[in-house]
Amino acid sequence: MLDSRKVRATAVCGFLLPVLFSVVGTAWAGDETAPARDPKQAVDETYTAKIQKYTTAPYFTSPLVNYLPASKNVPTPEVVLGDVAGAPGVLPYAADVYKYMRLLEKASPRVRVFSIGTTEEGREMIAVAVSSPENLKNLEENRARLAKLADPRTIKLDDTEADKLVAQAVPVYYITGTIHSPETGAPTALMELAYRLAVDESAYIREIRDGTITLITPVVEVDGRDRIVDIYKWHLAHPKDFYPPLIYWGKYVAHDNNRDAMGVTLKLTENVLNTYIGWKAQVLHDLHESVPYLYDNTIGDGPYNAWVDPILTDEWQMIGARNVADMTKFGMPGVFTHGDFDTWSPGYLMFIAAMHNGISRLYETFGNGGADTQERTLDPEEYARTWWRQNPPLPKVLWSQRDNNNYEQTGLLTSLHYFNENKRLFLKNFYLKAKRSVMKPSEEGPAAYVLPADESRPSLQAELLRVLQKQSVEISHAKSAFTVSLPVKKEKPKKDTKDAKESDKEKKPEPEPTSRDFPAGSYIIRMDQPYARIADALLDHQYWSPDDPQKTPYDDTGWTFGELFGVQVARVTDLKALDVAMERVTEVHAPGGVKGDGAVFAINNNAEPALAMLRYKLKDAGMEAAEEPFEGGGKKFNRGSFVIRNASHADLDRAAAELSLQAVALGTAPQRKNPSRPCGARSLRAHLAQHADRRLVAAGV
Ligand SMILES: [Zn+2]
């Protein structure tokens, strides 16, 4: 995730060389399962020898990954890669990774592969579940338990019932790899991780396998993966030539495919979101590579996002701190948390979990952007010892893809083990976060958001609501008109103390409460629903206090969706809004079409991008833009409204219905004082570009 250009220099207060310990067997307390190989575990000696050969220093590995368990019937990644995971010069295409995962599935009852959708270019995305055969056999039963915890309304918010479910449920820990295509290491690390989880008989791994379902999407940006492997192979064939970077990774987007978790405009976001929600997973852990050697972004720096449940921010602290502690005990340098990445913007892929009552996590490990072994020299601020990086990376090392794979797998295995040890706590928290979302109206507010039925931009209103539906937010329709009271607006205190004293003397009367009427058919987004937090985050006014210690948030990202879509969004604190007669909306589509008969039609211009799309749909029709407001067909039209001639009634009706635009037949064209400006394709392209920008901002790109 971290783009090197964005990494800010941190205060350098001198540096110390990393503390390099050898692994001590007594580092774990007596009642904890030691992260160690079972002495009876058969080892694949050839594979293990290559792991050791490609690891460039003895402290760039751990007792969890410095050997490969042997299996009589389950193939190792070598059958597909032709070498071990992380070997120099080896980068598999997504198809190779999938081929291996399906070989694992065929050979082991502990592995199942699921297709989770396709990319913009039609490539498959998968999720691989690794767990005990018992857990995989009972997936549906387990999903039903998790679904009750995810939606506490189904058990009437009954904590006793929740405790029973928590005691029986098997949690789901979802890991996603290589959303950023030049960060190339995750797929091989995840192939080997799946193998280890499926075959290793050490107590440490067995506990993870029996207690948790590990779900893995080894390649998130599949289109980009294939392109980067093409480029890398070209580089191998032309080792002395310039090695070009990728321009676009996916079909439309490069680095900012990891800013799409609000707008959900990309297939990869939609597929991961649906998988996360569908499996009722507790964690989403996204793998990136740009910081030496393992930066666990889980905790992050301020500002923290104001809409997440504080229970989650405590979970970040627990998990992040323990992860660093475990890897530090292995003697692996350069493992740290905090850093300068914040958790303010909800646009990152991992934040799907933060906004849906789970736990979001992100790793930055150290990648070479390919599979070459390279000498890497760090900047002083990268190896400085800081309060949050007590055992920093080395100033200069020889670094291999295997080193990177060792760090990724060690971090994930210790995380999985810690998570499994504390799964009852995390499952209970998963329930509590959902319950607190359902109780939001009375506990913290607001009660609801209302998008009024008399919206002047219905096509944009529908578009905004469809984004919320993708986020699994429940939307309702008011069956009748209703009125809510609005909170009394507080006056800002006067800064000048003399003026403030003067105004105190005046003793102004308290302002009266006001109210607002909404017509029947208005959309109500109730806040007493399990996924209220994502709706609250997107519909509320984004804010961040200038007093926050971090003056420059990591991403300058806007997400007040009402403003970005240019539609009315009312934040309602009056609990009466929840008593309005309403019904759930399954499909959002604003009505459109032609009203009346005639040869000339008008469409009011409220700056909806759909108007530009209409121009392209009816390219042979004559379209003009009114230079002044006018009235016709019993309606008022704004300046800029479209006047359309030479279009068949049926064609216009069909196009307007598709685009949610209302066209009105006029008896005659409006009078004009000056020749009207033709509303041709050229000016509409500019119009379209302007609104494309708006969409991009809305998508958090
Ligand atoms: Zn990245």
Of the pLDDT bands very low, low, confident and very high (cuts 50, 70, 90), residue 486 is: confident
How far is the centre of ligand 1, averaged over its atoms, from the C-alpha of 675 (Å)?
54
Phi-psi category of 497—alpha, beta or left, where left has phi over 0 and alpha has psi -120 to 50? Answer: alpha
Asked if residue 660 and residue 620 are part of one domain, the reply reads yes
The answer to whether residue 626 is domain-embedded is yes
How far is the centre of ligand 1, averaged over its atoms, from the C-alpha of 327 (Å)?
22
Asked if residue 599 and residue 564 are part of one domain, the reply reads no
Q: Which residue has the tokens 């996916």?
A: 250
Asked if residue 573 and residue 662 are part of one domain, the reply reads no
φ and ψ of 209, to 5 deg: -65, -45
Say if residues 666 and 598 touch (Cβ distance below 8 Å): yes
Asked if residue 524 and residue 386 are part of one domain, the reply reads no
How far is the centre of ligand 1, averaged over its atoms, from the C-alpha of 164 (Å)?
39
How far is the centre of ligand 1, averaged over its atoms, from the C-alpha of 184 (Å)?
10
Give the 3-state DSSP-derived string for 306-375, with helices as H, strands as E and coil as C. CCCCHHHHHHHHHHHHHHHHHHHHCCCCCEEECCCCEECCCCCCCHHHHCCCCEEEEEEECCCCCCCCEE
Structure tokens at 175: 């890991």
Domain C-terminal end among 438, 457, 477: 438
How far is the centre of ligand 1, averaged over its atoms, from the C-alpha of 365 (Å)?
9
Domain C-terminal end among 438, 464, 497: 438
pLDDT of residue 6: 38
Asked if residue 269 and residue 213 are part of one domain, the reply reads yes
pLDDT of residue 361: 98
How far is the centre of ligand 1, averaged over its atoms, from the C-alpha of 286 (Å)?
9
Measured between alpha carbons, how far is residue 462 from residues 465, 518, 577, 612, 659 in Å?
5, 17, 21, 17, 10
The answer to whether residue 501 is domain-embedded is no
How far is the centre of ligand 1, averaged over its atoms, from the C-alpha of 224 (Å)?
13
The answer to whether residue 14 is domain-embedded is no
Q: For the range 669-673, what are the long-range contacts, defined as Cβ-Cβ under 8 Å and sequence gap of 24 or more?
A: 669/600, 669/643, 669/645, 670/602, 670/626, 670/630, 670/632, 670/637, 670/643, 671/630, 672/626, 672/627, 672/628, 673/627, 673/628
pLDDT at position 505 over 60: no
How far is the centre of ligand 1, averaged over its atoms, from the C-alpha of 179 (Å)?
7
Report how far Cα 169 is from the mean position of its chain's Cα atoms.
25
pLDDT at position 12 over 80: no
Residues with Cβ within 8 Å of residue 32, at least 6 apart in sequence: none
pLDDT at position 333 over 70: yes
Asked if residue 275 and residue 315 are part of one domain, the reply reads yes
Residue 220: give the domain boundaries.
25-438
pLDDT of residue 408: 98
How far is the centre of ligand 1, averaged over its atoms, from the C-alpha of 288 (Å)?
4
Asked if residue 339 and residue 306 are part of one domain, the reply reads yes
Overall average pLDDT of the 53-65 stretch: 98
Cβ density class 652-677: b for 16+ within 10 Å, e for less = bbbbbbbbbbbbbbbeebbeeeeeee
In 106-202 the beta strands, taken as DSSP E runs, fall at 111-118, 124-130, 172-176
Of the pLDDT bands very low, low, confident and very high (cuts 50, 70, 90), residue 27 is: low
Distance separating alpha carbons of residues 196 and 201, to the nearest angstrom: 9
The answer to whether residue 484 is domain-embedded is yes
pLDDT of residue 673: 58
The answer to whether residue 505 is domain-embedded is no
How far is the centre of ligand 1, averaged over its atoms, from the C-alpha of 2 (Å)?
6
Distance separating alpha carbons of residues 244 and 237, to the nearest angstrom: 13
Asked if residue 281 and residue 305 are part of one domain, the reply reads yes
Task: Identify the CA nearest to 260 among candidates 589, 555, 688.
Answer: 555
Measured between alpha carbons, how far is residue 252 from residues 120, 197, 282 in Å?
9, 35, 30
| pLDDT, tens only, 231-272 | 999 999 999 999 888 988 999 999 999 999 999 999 999 999
How far is the centre of ligand 1, averaged over its atoms, from the C-alpha of 4 (Å)?
10
| pLDDT, tens only, 532-576 | 999 999 999 998 777 887 888 888 888 999 999 999 999 999 999
Asked if residue 600 and residue 561 are part of one domain, the reply reads no
Mean pLDDT lowest for which of 264-268, 385-389, 587-591, 689-693?
689-693
How far is the centre of ligand 1, averaged over its atoms, from the C-alpha of 48 (Å)?
29
How far is the centre of ligand 1, averaged over its atoms, from the C-alpha of 175 (Å)?
14
**Full DSSP string of 472-504:** T---EEESS-EEEEEPPPPPPPPSSHHHHHHHH
How far is the centre of ligand 1, averaged over its atoms, from the C-alpha of 79 (Å)?
29
More confident residue, 518 or 646: 518
Phi-psi category of 242—alpha, beta or left, where left has phi over 0 and alpha has psi -120 to 50? Answer: beta
How far is the centre of ligand 1, averaged over its atoms, from the C-alpha of 614 (Å)?
38
Return the H-helix or E-strand segment holding 192: helix 186-199
Say if residues 203 and 38 touch (Cβ distance below 8 Å): yes
Q: What is the pTM of this model?
A: 0.91
Distance separating alpha carbons of residues 525 and 515, to the nearest angstrom: 19
pLDDT at position 501 over 80: no
Task: Identify the CA nearest to 135 among candidates 226, 214, 194.
Answer: 214
Overall average pLDDT of the 464-471 stretch: 98
Asked if residue 369 and residue 429 are part of one domain, the reply reads yes
Distance separating alpha carbons of residues 689 and 681, to the nearest angstrom: 12
Longest dimension (CA), the chain: 94
Q: How many domains does the chain have?
A: 3
pLDDT of residue 553: 86
Distance separating alpha carbons of residues 314 and 324, to the nearest angstrom: 16
Distance separating alpha carbons of residues 190 and 285, to the nearest angstrom: 12
Task: Identify the CA nearest to 446 among candidates 487, 492, 490.
Answer: 487
Asked if residue 464 and residue 434 are part of one domain, the reply reads no
How far is the centre of ligand 1, averaged over its atoms, from the C-alpha of 204 (Å)?
30
Say if residues 175 and 288 touch (Cβ distance below 8 Å): no
Structure tokens at 418: 């810690």
Distance separating alpha carbons of residues 160 and 490, to the nearest angstrom: 42
Task: Identify the CA nearest to 353 among candidates 138, 131, 171.
Answer: 171
Mean pLDDT lowest for which of 96-105, 145-154, 684-693?
684-693
Overall average pLDDT of the 410-430 stretch: 98
More confident residue, 316 or 10: 316
Rounded to 5°, angle at Cα 263 from 257 and 268: 40
Asked if residue 570 and residue 597 are part of one domain, the reply reads no
How far is the centre of ligand 1, averaged over its atoms, from the C-alpha of 254 (Å)?
10
Measured between alpha carbons, how far is residue 616 from residues 20, 128, 529, 654, 659 in Å?
65, 43, 40, 14, 12
Distance separating alpha carbons of residues 557 and 600, to the nearest angstrom: 43
The answer to whether residue 46 is domain-embedded is yes
Mean pLDDT lowest for which of 81-90, 293-302, 471-480?
293-302
Q: Look over the chain and give the mean of its residue pLDDT values, rounded to a whole number.
A: 90
The answer to whether residue 6 is domain-embedded is no
How far is the centre of ligand 1, averaged over its atoms, from the C-alpha of 558 (Å)?
20
How far is the centre of ligand 1, averaged over its atoms, from the C-alpha of 355 (Å)?
20
Domain C-terminal end among 535, 565, 584: 584
pLDDT at position 525 over 70: yes
pLDDT at position 509 over 90: no
Distance separating alpha carbons of residues 346 and 308, to the nearest angstrom: 9
163 burial (CB, 10 Å; 0-12 / 13-18 / 19+) is: middle
Mean pLDDT lowest for which of 144-153, 212-221, 336-345?
336-345
pLDDT of residue 507: 66
How far is the centre of ligand 1, averaged over its atoms, from the C-alpha of 595 (Å)?
51
The answer to whether residue 508 is domain-embedded is no
Q: What is the CATH number of the domain that holds 265?
A: 3.40.630.10
Measured between alpha carbons, how far is residue 66 from residues 82, 363, 370 in Å?
19, 21, 22
